[in-house]
Amino acid sequence: NELNTTLVLNGTDLELTDAGGTLSTDLSSLQDGVTDADADPTNELISSVTLTNTNDVLRIVEAGITNDVDVSTFKNINLVLSGSSLDLTDGGGTLSADLSSLNDANTALNLVGTTLSLTDSAGTLNVDLSSIDGINDLDTINTNELITSAVLTGANVLEITEGGNLTSVDLSSLASQSAALYDNLGWSGASASVGTGANTTLSATEGQKIFEIVETATSNRFEIDFNRVMPGTIITNLPITINEPGFYYLIGNLTNTTNNGDGITIDASDVTIDLMGYRLAGTQLSGINSDDGIVVLGSETNIKIRNGGIVGWNGDGINALNADFSIFSDLHVRANNGDGLVGDFNNLMVRVTAFTNGIDGIEGDDGTVIFHCTAGQNGDNGIQTSEGCAVINSASFDNESDGIDVAAGSIIDSCVASDNGIFGFDVALGGQVVNSVAYDNMSNGFDMASACIIRSCIGSLNTGHGVRTFANSWVIGNKFHENDLDGIRISSTGVHVEGNQVTDNDQVGIQVTSSGCLIIRNTASGNVTNYNIITTSAFGPILDVTNAGDLADVTGADHPWANFVF
């Protein structure tokens, strides 16, 4: 019963009603008894009525007592125009007024011909503006100020149509420009006139070396950027003979067109040929018999051939047997009937791929370095060199004969030879192979001549031996696994075999059939026979430590030269 619901002055009784009922209080004793003009003695108590607190409170002072009444809910607090509705909000809610009948906004303004149209909600007002043209020009005609067309016709006539009138302009004096148009643009062609013709315009920006052709009829734009034109000689047709030093380059693919001829013949030293990513195509692509794609005559030096393909020639892709101290780089030599690339002494061959050539993929003479090259599916060896060469970071795969075949005094470092028809690596007298892998070749993984070194290599799954080597060689720190014959085969005197691991080979892990060899500190496991060493060679004790546990308990395990079976 704590909620007051009504407060009523009934005569001189003040009645207060809540949930419990009505309480009545007699206020008659508060009358002041003053007689005034309205003969009402009960209203003489109010001395002031004011609005305070930003007009939110009605303050009534009656008989010295102040009474505050909250009148904030009677104020207008928001006025919003939403679309065509005007919304007035106060404490009692929102009153909306529809003003759509008052909307008279202009919605469109258009000029059609000489008529100006103004549109609003009431409709469209049209105003004729034709009377305001009155331009006083030289032809005194005020209807021809609009050019409707300009066309280049005939050879040199510009026709302009203006207000229905045709004007012709003779441009014959502009019909040709002298060859001076090309001055300072790097142009090296023959001097000749440059004609605009009926449908083109020419322009040049000398500072930027840009030559522009615009076809008027279609607005097609053609641009020649002479900044991209290199100094040198463009090779545009085959065959060609180069007999002067200099820089030569292609601007497109070229195909052999001459029977029994070479594509490019080099008959000078200090010649650079940049194929610019294009291809020289020979027999198989043209249907015409050919010889070498590029051939070097005489005895030349400092020949550079780079950046492109030599494909399908009846002879060699590149025959540089007469080029010494030369560089061949970024080349693809494929499907040539001879060698892919063959060079002379002291050449550098870098990033060359040689694929499906009839003889060797890549061949270098004495002193050649072959670096980052690949050779695959060639008819003989993938990579072959003469004496004193280096083959580094290269791979040779699926060639008919050896993967990599090097002559005496050469080194092979960080290379891979796999799936080749004979040896993975064929190394002649005094050669060295390090950090390389021979995998799944049809004969020996590594076939080493006398006085060779093989170190830190892997030979696995080869049909022959993992490695076979001859007199006075080192076989140090290698791994030979699961070869069809022996892991290591030694058949000559003076070979040092140390620190190798031979596992799961189908015959002998380490087979030594010749006297005078040294075999120490090797490990063997899973071979049909782990060690077979002739007694006239020197070897550390062979200890079987299979399932032996702590080697400290095995007699002789601490021997410094011991060979182990595990």
Question: Between these two residues, 191 and 516, which has the higher pLDDT value?
Answer: 516
The predicted pLDDT at position 180 comes to: 40
Angstrom distance (rounded) from CA 441 to CA 413: 18
Whole-prediction pTM: 0.62
* Distance from the Cα of residue 373 to its chain's centroid: 23
309 vs 287, more confident: 309
Which one-letter amino acid corresponds to residue 24?
Answer: S
How far is residue 552 from each of residues 540, 544, 562, measured CA to CA in Å? Answer: 18, 14, 14
Rounded distance, CA 518 to CA 509, Å? Answer: 15
What's the pLDDT at 166? 80
- Report the 3 state secondary structure along 393-442: CCEEECCCCCCEEECCCCEEECCEEECCCCCCEEECCCCEEECCEEECCC
Counting beta carbons within 10 angstroms of the beta carbon of residue 65, is it exposed (0 to 12), middle (13 to 18) or buried (19 or more)?
Answer: exposed
C-alpha to C-alpha distance for 193 and 458, rounded to whole angstroms: 70
Taking every pair of Cα atoms in the chain, the longest distance, rounded to a whole number of angstroms, is 157
Using the predicted structure, report yes or no on whether residue 559 has a pLDDT greater than 60. yes
Rounded Cα distance between 517 and 497, Å, is 8
* Residue 437 β-bridge partners: 416, 458
pLDDT tops 80 at residue 388: yes
Radius of gyration of the chain (CA): 53
How does DSSP assign 32-74, residue by residue? -----TT--TTS--EEEEEEETTTTEEEEEETTEEEEEE-GGG
The C-alpha angle with vertex 263 and arms to 324 and 369, in degrees rounded to 5, equals 25
Please state, in angstroms and rounded to a whole number, the distance separating the CA atoms of residues 293 and 289.
Answer: 12
Pseudo-torsion of CA 369, 371, 375, 381, nearest 10°?
30
The Cα 251–Cα 516 span in angstroms is: 64
The average pLDDT across 534-551 equals 96
Under 8 Å between Cβ of 46 and 61:
yes
Report how far residue 512's alpha carbon sits from residue 489's, in angstroms, rounded to the nearest whole number.
6
CA separation for the pair 465, 512 (Å, rounded):
13
CA dist 96 → 73, 89, 104, 159, 374 (Å): 18, 9, 20, 67, 87
Using an 8 Å Cβ cutoff, are 523 and 544 in contact? no
Cβ neighbours of 4 (radius 10 Å): 11
**Higher per-residue confidence, 71 vs 464:** 464
32-59 pLDDT tens trace? 555 455 555 555 566 776 767 776 777 8
Which secondary-structure segment (H or E) carries 111? strand 106-112
Q: Which pLDDT score, from 0 to 100, does residue 188 have?
A: 40
Residue 228 phi/psi, 5-degree rounding, is -90, -5
- When pLDDT is cut at 50, 70 and 90, the band that residue 196 belongs to is very low
CA distance 191 to 173: 20
- Ramachandran region, residue 170 (left: φ > 0; alpha: ψ -120 to 50; beta: rest): beta
Task: Say whether pLDDT at 360 is over 90.
Answer: yes
Kindly state the tokens that stand for 54. Answer: 């930003």
Mean pLDDT of 247-258: 93
**Spatial separation of the C-alpha atoms in residues 542 and 520, rounded to whole Å:** 9
